[in-house]
Amino acid sequence: MLQGKINIRNLSLEELLVHFSDLNEKSFRAKQVFEWLWKKNAHSFDEMTSLSKDLREKLDTTFFIDHITLQDQQISRDKTIKCAFSVDETKIIEGVLIPTSSRTTACISSQVGCSLSCTFCATGRLKLLRNLSAGEIFDQVVYLKNQAEQRYQTTLTNIVYMGMGEPLLNYKNVLQSIEHICSEQGLGMSPRRVTVSTAGIAKMIRKLGDDQVKFNLALSLHAANDEKRNKIMEINESNNLEELSDALQYFHEKTGSRVTFEYIIFKDFNDSIEDARELAQFAKCVPCKINIIEYNPIENGEFQQADARKVEDFALFLESKNLIVNVRRSRGKDIDAACGQLANRNKAISPEERILK
């Protein structure tokens, strides 16, 4: 933050109009600036060429524009792109572009680090340094969107808040970023193309319901009994499965939205038919679909990837209970870009070395 200056991207259009009135500037100028910030993604007032030089200088004395900077980029054999972005010049976050034949997804971060310490996740080993602003979250989407268009000649179809951090612990900025992503004054994406993933904070899931959000909600479940979930996710000790079930039902009643359950399947821990039976029972709490995700090993991790046959049997059991099930194959594992692997391991290497052939 620059001393005495206001982060202009923290202001709503209504708040910006008030500031422009105080500066004796016309309201349409505020709307022009808002468009430069969110539709054109300007990172400096000098870029706002439709404004007079005097106005740009006046804005520069009152405001600053927060933004992220690309520090490093790696491209996987499967075309997944992992980007390391710097914030505050010294802190690093990561975002991932995941292209497939049917969709192109941006996986973005909401915090610098994470406070939840899930045992299977590399990000959980990092300290939480701070929340990202709405603008810093938005910038990740814009950069990955541009990469999809320039490198793969495709549009960005989906956005998932599944990168570093717990989105519901940065509630205000996450919702503000989605507002700009989905607004016609921003990127104009449908909220149904956006999914926010949480490790499970019951009171904030209820707040999503109260706010009647239009985007999708995913719960990182990974175990459907409290004893096992406590072992791998500390958050479950204060937000147990019964509380989460009640919160999810409330969310569905308020929004009408189906919930996604994410279930990373670990060898000899949560991959048995009994585990599947518990998951099927829990899933009855709300209309849902289930994504079974193969585990991506992390350095010095205690878990291993489940056997392919057990994964298949697990999915078949759930399908026999009339549940919608998808088995997700991880992408970007060769550059530590897969689910649970984001942990600031980008290296300062040459562009040629970054593209893994």
Q: What is the set of active-site residues?
A: 94, 339
Residues in the chain, overall count: 357
The token pair at 349 is: 């290497």
- What are the φ/ψ torsions at residue 313 (nearest 5 degrees)? -65, -40
The token pair at 227 is: 């004893």
- What are the φ/ψ torsions at residue 149 (nearest 5 degrees)? -75, -45
Longest Cα–Cα distance of the chain, Å, equals: 70
**Burial degree of 28 (CB within 10 A; 0-12, 13-18, 19+):** exposed
The token pair at 189 is: 């994406």
Show contacts of 111-116: CB within 8 Å, 24+ apart.
111/164, 111/165, 111/166, 111/169, 111/170, 112/87, 112/164, 112/165, 113/164, 113/165, 114/164, 114/165, 114/166, 115/166, 115/169, 116/166, 116/199, 116/233, 116/234, 116/235
If you compute the radius of gyration of the chain from its CA atoms, what whole number of angstroms results? 21
